[in-house]
């Protein structure tokens, strides 16, 4: 599948509909990062809020 990868946004979440698939990049021009914690202290506290499940 041909995609327009954004080389400024590396991503390995290939379950996301925005993933470039063949390469580990996002295809969006801009992503939104957020947190589900009130006081984020670790990597695991952060989320890509632009994620969309590819299976949906
Ligand atoms: S939207 Fe987020 S999770 Fe999805 S490919 Fe882009 S950076 Fe990765």
Give the confidence band of 2 by pLDDT, cuts at 50, 70, 90: low
CB 11 within 8 A of CB 30: no
What per-residue confidence (pLDDT) applies to 1? 55
Nearest atom (ligand 1) to Cα of 19: 5
Rounded CA-CA distance 28/8 in Å is 10
Asked if the model's pLDDT at residue 3 lies above 90, the reply is no
pLDDT mean across residues, the chain:
95
Return the percentage of the chain with pLDDT > 90, whole number: 93
Name the residue of 48, 49, 55 to mutate for ligand 1: max ligand atoms within 8 A of Cβ: 48
């Amino acid at each position: 599948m041909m995609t327009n990868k954004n080389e400024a946004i590396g991503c390995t979440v290939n379950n996301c509909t925005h993933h470039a698939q063949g390469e580990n990049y996002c295809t969006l021009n801009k992503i939104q990062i957020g947190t589900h914690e009130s006081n984020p202290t670790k990597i695991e506290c952060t989320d890509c809020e632009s994620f969309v499940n590819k299976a949906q």
